[in-house]
């Protein structure tokens, strides 16, 4: 499995800053003993705690209505009650039935995405319950070797089954927010050919303009076309720790093979691999191998301290923009550590090689002539 440190965005929680004409109507009923049931307020809120609308609750009835929809996962809360109702808001009509003591179990009817989400949840529970999943995760971390491997295999089998089911639903609803959200959450795991094919229905669909998951998938697909083996990377420049601007092409042109090493001082797996990479660097640097470290740090202090502590001898650059690092965005870096290899002309010759053995075998082949 890939050593995923963090995904740039949490899947399915992103929300657009734009809106869709058409709008929504949410009609709801809440029962129970809380005062708000008789008279109070309900609040519709977008992800990121962006307040959308307020509705009066009278005799357990409330209604939200707007002629413009900001699609994404939203919540409804009530004055004086803890908890919330979570659902995907898109154009259309919704019916919500809730009890004040169990808001998270409210019944939400309406919306293509919500209905498909329900089917996936039902499938998930039939394949692997939450309690079973938690137990397997515990075994995968703390069990003996045999138990760890068995737990990991069981989890993977369940994930594969659920992914296959989700993709069967997408085949039936190819141009849907459900499809967009699934591709967004699986963006680094799907082969580019499959991702591109599944994304085709909404690549040019204006309904998704401004919707962050869709825009992210679109950009990712377009970027991937420029990252195929043999493609020449777009040249970029970025500051070194001493503030000097370093052009990527200047580094490439002086070496037979350059590894773009995407890492960060806060990334434990990156730091763990640095000593291994130093050994590889020592063995192949004189043969024409170079490393260009591209840090996804947020602060110069954390970045430079990590370089010093790990004794990294190769050139380093960073714009200190975290996951919005310009090179990380352009080169589709969704997890770290991650690598990308280019030749002296800046042409891509390999990507995402995993582990010391694979990297050494690749360098042996590239630098043997």
Q: The domain that contains 73 carries what CATH number?
A: 2.60.40.10
CA dist 297 and 323 (Å) reads 8
Q: Which residues pair with 56 in a beta bridge?
A: 41
* Cβ-contact 260, 289 below 8 angstroms: no
* Cβ-contact 92, 24 below 8 angstroms: yes
**Could you give the number of structural domains in the chain?**
3
At residue 5, the pLDDT reads 38
Q: 148-185: buried (b, 16+ CB within 10 Å) or exposed (e) per residue?
A: eeebbebbeebeeebeebbbebbeeeeebbbbbbbbbb
At residue 46, the pLDDT reads 87
The encoded tokens of residue 142 equal 């703390």
Residues 241, 334 within the same domain: yes
The encoded tokens of residue 184 equal 């967004």
Give the residue from 101, 104, 85 showing the smallest Cα distance to 33. 101
Calculate ∠ Cα 68-71-73, nearest 5°. Answer: 135
Calculate ∠ Cα 179-118-120, nearest 5°. Answer: 60
The residue ranges of the chain whose pLDDT is under 50 are 1-18
Show which of 109, 127, 146 is a domain's final residue: 109
Q: Is residue 5 part of a domain?
A: no
CA dist 183 and 215 (Å) reads 11
CA dist 293 and 167 (Å) reads 37
Please tell me what DSSP assigns to residue 138.
H
Show which of 73, 93, 109 is a domain's final residue: 109
Residues 255, 339 within the same domain: yes
Q: Which domain holds residue 98?
A: 20-109
Residues 126, 105 within the same domain: no
* Cβ-contact 179, 208 below 8 angstroms: no
Q: What is the pLDDT of residues 207-230, one digit of tens each?
A: 899 899 999 999 999 999 889 999
The encoded tokens of residue 324 equal 């919005």
* Cβ-contact 176, 115 below 8 angstroms: no
Residues 291, 353 within the same domain: yes
CA dist 20 and 15 (Å) reads 13
Residues 241, 362 within the same domain: yes
Residues 34, 98 within the same domain: yes
Give the residue from 336, 335, 334, 340 showing the smallest Cα distance to 353. 340
At residue 47, the pLDDT reads 67
The secondary structure element, H or E, covering residue 35 is: helix 35-38
CATH number of the structural domain spanning residue 275: 3.40.30.10
Q: Is residue 6 part of a domain?
A: no
């Amino acid at each position: 499995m890939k050593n995923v440190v963090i995904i740039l965005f949490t899947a399915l929680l992103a929300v657009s800053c734009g809106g869709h004409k058409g709008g929504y109507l949410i009609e709801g009923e809440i029962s129970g003993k809380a005062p708000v049931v008789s008279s109070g307020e309900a609040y519709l809120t977008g992800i990121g705690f962006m307040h959308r609308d307020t509705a009066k609750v009278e005799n357990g009835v409330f209604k939200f209505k707007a002629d413009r929809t900001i699609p994404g996962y939203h919540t409804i809360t009530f004055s004086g009650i803890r908890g919330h109702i979570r659902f995907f808001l898109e154009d259309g009509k919704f019916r919500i039935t809730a009890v004040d003591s169990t808001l998270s179990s409210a019944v939400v009817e309406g919306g293509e995405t919500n209905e498909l989400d329900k089917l996936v949840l039902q499938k998930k529970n039939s394949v692997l319950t939450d309690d079973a999943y938690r137990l397997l995760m515990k075994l995968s971390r703390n069990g003996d070797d045999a138990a760890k491997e068995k737990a990991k295999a069981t989890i993977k089998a369940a994930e594969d089954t659920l992914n296959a089911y989700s993709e069967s639903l997408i085949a039936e609803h190819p141009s849907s927010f459900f499809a967009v959200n699934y591709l967004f959450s699986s963006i680094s795991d799907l082969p580019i050919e499959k991702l591109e094919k599944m994304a085709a229905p909404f690549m040019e669909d204006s309904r998704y303009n401004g919707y962050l998951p869709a825009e992210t998938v679109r950009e990712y697909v377009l970027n991937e076309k420029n990252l195929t083996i043999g493609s020449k990377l777009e040249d970029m420049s970025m500051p070194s720790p001493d503030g000097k601007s370093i052009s990527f092409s200047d580094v490439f042109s002086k070496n037979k093979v350059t590894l773009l090493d995407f890492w960060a001082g806060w990334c434990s797996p990156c730091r763990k691999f640095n000593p291994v990479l130093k050994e590889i660097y020592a063995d192949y640097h004189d043969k024409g191998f170079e490393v260009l470290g591209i840090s996804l740090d947020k602060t110069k202090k954390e970045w430079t301290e990590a370089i010093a502590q790990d004794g990294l001898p190769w050139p380093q650059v960073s714009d200190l923009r975290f996951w919005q690092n310009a090179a990380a965005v352009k080169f589709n870096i969704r997890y770290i550590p991650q690598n990308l290899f280019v030749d002296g002309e800046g042409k891509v010759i390999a990507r995402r090689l995993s582990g010391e053995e694979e990297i050494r075998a690749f360098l042996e082949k590239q630098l043997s002539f």
